Amino acid sequence: MGFQAASAGTHPASAVAPHALTLLREKGLPTADLTPKSVDDVNEADFDMVISMGCGVACPTMSINEDWGLDDPVGQSYEVYQETAAAIERRLQALWTQSAETGSPSP
**For residue 60, what pLDDT is reported?**
67
- State how many domains the chain has: 1
* 71 in any annotated domain: yes
**From residue 97, how far is each of 4, 70, 88, 106 by CA, in Å?**
16, 21, 14, 9
- Domain residues for the domain of 39 are 18-102
Residues 44-70 pLDDT 10s: 888 888 888 886 666 667 788 888 999
User: In this model, does residue 99 exceed pLDDT 70?
Assistant: yes
**For residue 101, what pLDDT is reported?**
77
* 13 in any annotated domain: no
Burial class (CB in 10 A: 0-12, 13-18, 19+), 34: middle
* 3 in any annotated domain: no
What CATH number does residue 24 fall under?
3.40.50.2300
Residues 65-87 pLDDT 10s: 888 999 889 999 999 999 999 99
* 31 in any annotated domain: yes
**For residue 62, what pLDDT is reported?**
79
**For residue 58, what pLDDT is reported?**
67
- Terminus-to-terminus CA distance in the chain, angstroms? 11
* 107 in any annotated domain: no
